[in-house]
Amino acid sequence: MVDPLDHAVDFYMQEAEQAGLNIHYVIDTHVHADHISGARELAERTGAKLALYAETPAEYAFTPLADGERIDLGNVVIDVVHTPGHTPEHISLIVTDHRRGPEPWFVLTGHTFMIGDVGRPDLVVEDGAQDLYHSIFDKMLSLPDYLEVYPGAFSGST
């Protein structure tokens, strides 16, 4: 589960149960300022690992993720890409489903990309705009053209 909302934790659990799935990881792509994350509650209630970028300034326990790290979930693997700019600790997740083929299928961009926009740089970080530029042009736009791109929100929502 990625970037769960606090008011939908029961929904996520019900949907996973109906699909016969177990939630092994709950990942926040960044510390959210526009809504309350349901990640901690969902991880606690399911026994999943709560995962964030290793340098996330959180005052609670989490599984640290590093740039370039791979999460192996059997047929599905998730590659972690550090994409700072919206926030310093922001990550995007490239997902490959080996049942579909050996190539990546899609990328979850959190708030690096939004529908019709990009995430605004963190206003308290001096190099936020420059970091966002490099995350977009050096990392995200270098991904294969066939990759499905899933933005984290509509423009103007954060």
Does residue 134 fall inside a structural domain? yes
- pLDDT over 90 (residue 126): no
Return the structure tokens found at 140: 């995200």
pLDDT tier for residue 35 given thresholds of 50, 70 and 90:
confident
- Kindly report the average pLDDT of the chain as a whole number: 92
Is the pLDDT score of 84 beyond 90? yes
- In a domain, residue 155? The reply is no
pLDDT at 34 over 80: no
Amino acid 15: pLDDT: 97
pLDDT at 158: 45
**pLDDT value, residue 128:** 87
Per-residue tokens: 60: 């609670």
Do the domain assignments include residue 157? no
Residue type, 132: L
CATH of the domain at 60: 3.60.15.10
Mean pLDDT along residues 1-14: 95
pTM for the structure as a whole: 0.92
The answer to the question of residue 156 being in a domain is no
Tell me, what amino acid is at 11? Answer: F
Is 1 domain-assigned?
A: no
Split into its structural domains, the chain has a count of 1
Model confidence band, residue 107 (pLDDT cutoffs 50, 70, 90) = very high
- 3-state DSSP of the chain: CECCEHHHHHHHHHHHHHCCCCCCEEECCCCCCCCCECHHHHHHHHCCEEEEECCCCCCCCCEEECCCCEEEECCEEEEEEECCCCCCCCEEEEEEECCCCCCCCEEECCCCEEECEECCCCCCCCCHHHHHHHHHHHHHHHCCCCCEEECCCECCCC
Average pLDDT, stretch 8-24?
A: 96
> Does residue 110 lie within any of the structural domains?
yes
pLDDT of residue 13: 97
| 44: containing domain | 6-150
Q: Quick one: pLDDT at residue 29?
A: 94
Over residues 66-81, mean pLDDT = 97
pLDDT for residue 154: 60
pLDDT at 144 over 90: yes
pLDDT of the residue at 156:
55
Cβ-proximal residues to 80 (8 Å cutoff; 6+ apart), any chain: 53, 65, 66, 67, 68, 69, 70, 71, 91, 93
The answer to whether residue 11 is domain-embedded is yes
